[in-house]
Amino acid sequence: MNFSMTCVAVFLLLVASTSARFTIKISESEIQTICSKAKNSEFCQTFFKSKPETAQADLSAIAKLTVDSARKSASGTHAEIESLLQQASDPKSKEVYTSCLENYDSATTNLDDAFKALAGGDPGTVNAKVSAAMTEADTCKGDLVGVSPDPSSLVKGIEELENVSSIALVVSNMLPK
């Protein structure tokens, strides 16, 4: 009887410690590791400092936060592209802004899919979809040479999406498979 109780106690201890490992808040050193691997370390540090909820978040919550922030960034940039398209007067600029809208439609869809994949516990799909969104943003940025009106604020929005997405990629690679 005593031996079986000991076995049960050891088993429960192992189960509790295993499940606790996945809900432990992220440490400052883990944030440093994430930021050291992100595209823009300084942006990453500022991002985490601007999000007080990260202080008590676990890795899964950080993944959701970064993907959701990327979605919001993409949505804001999409609205900016629509505004610039309405202001564009020459055919080349209209064509470029129309193409960027298509890129951002795709980027937004990819980020929505990444968020769903997070909920489904599929970090590989998260990674693929966030990468695809970054590619769409980068394609748009590459086409903006010589367009009017001036796309400088749009470029900032694209870079924000790329920076937040790079954080999301690092975090998704840290999630348990």
DSSP alpha helices (H): ranges in the chain?
2-21, 28-37, 41-49, 59-87, 91-119, 123-142, 152-174
Q: How far apart are CA 16 and CA 5, in angstroms?
A: 16
Does a structural domain hold residue 149? Answer: yes
| SS3 label, residue 57 | coil
Is 171 a member of any domain?
Answer: yes
As a whole number of angstroms, the distance between CA 129 and CA 127 comes to 6
How many Å separate Cα 72 from the centre of its chain?
10
Q: How many domains does the chain have?
A: 1
Q: What is the pTM of this model?
A: 0.84
Cα(103)–Cα(122) distance, integer angstroms: 24
Per-residue confidence (pLDDT) for residue 3, from 0 to 100: 53
Longest CA–CA span in the chain (Å) reads 86
In a domain, 98, yes or no: yes
Is 48 a domain residue?
A: no
Tell me whether residue 143 is in a domain: yes
Q: What is the pLDDT of residue 23?
A: 57
CB 137 within 8 A of CB 174: no
Give the pLDDT score at 25.
Answer: 87
Mapped onto helix, strand or coil, the DSSP state of residue 35 is helix
| CA-based torsion, 71, 76, 77, 79: positive or negative | positive
The enclosing domain of 138 has a CATH number of 1.20.140.40
Q: Is 5 among the domain residues?
A: no
Angle (CA) 27 129 45, round 5°: 30
Instruction: Tell me if 134 is assigned to some domain.
Output: yes
pLDDT (tens place) for every residue of the chain, 177 residues total: 555 545 444 444 444 444 444 457 888 999 999 999 999 999 999 999 999 998 889 999 999 999 999 999 999 999 999 999 999 999 999 999 999 999 999 999 999 999 999 999 999 999 999 999 999 999 999 999 989 999 999 999 999 999 999 999 999 999 988
Residue 130 covered by a domain: yes
Q: What is the residue range of 132's domain?
A: 59-177
Q: For position 2, what pLDDT does the model report?
A: 57
